[in-house]
Amino acid sequence: MVAAGNLNELTTQLAPLIVHTELSNDSLRAVRAGLAEQTATVAATGPARPAMNAGERPQMVPVKASSPNSDPERRRITQVVGLLMGTAEFQRR
């Protein structure tokens, strides 16, 4: 398995396993854009999850260190898999 630090290589390696076909250029651009957006958001705010407070509206509460999402490599892999599952090629299966 490739290190999750190289998101382009990780995407290239996981796409055939998840999508079972070659990604179109549009889908590949969308996955890369989604990864760039998610990476920027996590870097700016840190990982968070929705949680209910005493009011009716949810607030974002930082994830505890024991959460599986606190591992940066696992989070990157999860992001790639999620974005690949959103591609048109995967949806057509």
**pLDDT, tens digit, 9 for 90 and up, residues 23-60:** 999 999 999 888 888 766 666 655 555 555 555 555 55
Tens of pLDDT along 12-21? 999 999 999 9
Mean pLDDT of 52-72: 58
Q: Where are the domains of the chain?
A: 9-17+69-93
**Cα–Cα distance, 81 to 84 (Å, whole number):** 5
pLDDT of 4 higher than 70: no
Residue type, 83: L
Q: Residue 81 — very low, low, confident or very high, per pLDDT cuts 50/70/90?
A: very high
What does the DSSP 8-state code read for residue 70? G
Please tell me the predicted confidence (pLDDT) of residue 65. 55
Q: Which of 37, 11, 36, 35 is nearest to 90 (CA)?
A: 11
